[in-house]
Amino acid sequence: MANELTVVKKFEVAPIDSEIMAAFKEEMEGLGTMPIDTIKIPSGGGIAFEVPGEDPDSPDMAKELIGVITGHKPQNAYWQDAYSGDNASPDCYSDDGKVGINTNTGESRLCETCPFNQFGSALNAQGQPTKGKACKNLHRLYLLMEGALMPVIINIPPTSIKPFKDYLAKRLLLRGKRPAQVLTKITLKKAVSNDGITYSQCVFTKAGDLAPDIIKTLAPVVAMTKDLMAMKQTAPAGEVSESNGAGSTGFENDGREAFDGKVVNGMAIPEFEEVAD
């Protein structure tokens, strides 16, 4: 499947019909958005993904993920205080990489002009300015694996955004392909920063072009993913107050840990890596 000319003629897709979607909307009303499993990228240079299994406390490990990217979007997260070991939600969060919402006041601001989203705004552990951004630019992928009813979420950190951008632009779009028209393989490699810090970086490879009938079969899943990406998440009790109008970010439950920066949803986000291309 590594060959550029490979045509994937078989990719089992679990059927999604209007009745299933109607049931989800009816039963999930008032409970927030549709729950979707998240595959975690390890910190510290690990080369295996954490894949949710039957036991939430014991995830499976996978060295590669193969599936169809049915959607993707940018996201931003900003913490005002330095990491102190707590499980803090971001002080500002953007679900689309365009408009950030202050999770304490509900105030919104444009990400493009926000001073915390500019290179040179980050501070290191000693409070000294660095080349990076105080706001962490992330990217969320929705990956449908064979036989699955729903795509899984992969939140790729700043260290992996350029490899994804290159894959999307050079390997797909400039060759007349969209992400939902090909089978994509995602692996991890160990990388080291100029400061000697080891981290995990995603590697994206086209595993083959999907046959036209498979692309047609996937159309409802792609449409559903667009709906999911457009939904504003509802904050769970105890995470963000109901009165401030801010939504749940999806970062609260996995916490942050020290890695010369932050870790979000198990993703290493070192300060040094966020520099301009």
Which pLDDT band holds residue 9 (cuts at 50, 70, 90)? confident
pLDDT at residue 14, as a whole number? 75
Which pLDDT band holds residue 70 (cuts at 50, 70, 90)? very high
Q: CA torsion sign, 10 to 15 to 21 to 27? A: negative
Residue % of the chain over a pLDDT of 70? 76
CA–CA separation, 229 and 31 (whole Å): 17
Residue 221 DSSP SS3: helix
pLDDT at residue 87, as a whole number? 62
Q: Which tokens belong to 236?
A: 């769970």
Cα-Cα-Cα-Cα torsion 187, 168, 214, 148, nearest 10 degrees, comes to 40
**Cβ–Cβ under 8 Å, residues 74 and 139:** yes
Judged against a pLDDT cut of 50, whether residue 152 lies above it is answered with yes
CA–CA separation, 179 and 166 (whole Å): 13
Mean pLDDT for 77-90 is 74
**DSSP per-residue letters across 115-175:** GGGSTT--B-TTS-B-SS-SSEEEEEEEEEPTT-SSPEEEEE-HHHHHHHHHIIIIIIGGG
CA–CA separation, 96 and 108 (whole Å): 13
Q: What amino acid is encoded at 98 in this protein?
A: K
pLDDT at residue 32, as a whole number? 63
Q: Greater confidence, 123 or 4?
A: 123
Alpha-carbon distances of 124 from 16, 130, 185, 272, rounded to whole Å: 47, 7, 34, 9
